[in-house]
Amino acid sequence: MKIINCMVGIFAIIGSIYCLFFPGISFLNVGWVITVILGIFGICSIAFYFTKKKMYKDLMIEGVHGVFGLIVGIAAAVVSILAIFVPSIQIALDVIILVIFAIWMIADGISSIAESLAIKKASTSKSWILALILGIIMIILGIYGICHLIFLGRFIGIAIGVMLMSYGIKLIASLFEKDNYCKK
């Protein structure tokens, strides 16, 4: 699983660099970007849950988070396909995607904080601090994005880039973690 995490982390960082350098194009393609990201994240989280659920404590949140990501990714794909064939719903699609993205940032922040607290209780590693800080930042950005959709619309490419970068760094950092927080 660590090899898959590393590969997804590298792809996330490459995607984040693209989003940071081309935020306008990222917004135009945001339906597909979110679809791919959430689909990969959902599949990886579900696979991690089923392969490690006997070894680790408190992994139910990871499984639920993965299922939620996969469902939202499929919904984003369906809506993106509908927007191609029915151009009049493009504006509604943009607003829906902004709201979904803001809610996803909040959910990802809560999940990251829960994960950091579980790692803190079960491990001597200090990596929980990074997950906690990133979780708090994601919640703040998500709440601000819901309150100011125009801001989120203008900077969604950058927001996706930052989110992908943090996700990629977390995945690559997981390579260097010892599995000390296994259930005894």
Q: What is the pLDDT of residue 136?
A: 92
Residue for token pair 């984003």: 76
pLDDT of residue 139: 92
Q: Which among 159, 129, 154 is positioned nearest to 141, based on CA atoms?
A: 159
∠ Cα 19 106 68 (to 5°): 90
Give the per-residue pLDDT at 57.
Answer: 57
Q: Work out the end-to-end distance of the chain between its first and last CA atoms, rounded to an integer number of angstroms.
A: 20
Residue 101 pLDDT? 78
Whether 114 and 48 have beta carbons less than 8 Å apart is answered as no
Within the chain, what is the greatest distance between any pair of CA atoms? Answer: 57
Distance CA 148, CA 134 (A): 21
Average pLDDT for consecutive 10-residue bins of the chain (184 residues)? Answer: 75 81 69 70 73 62 73 75 73 76 85 83 77 88 86 75 78 68 40
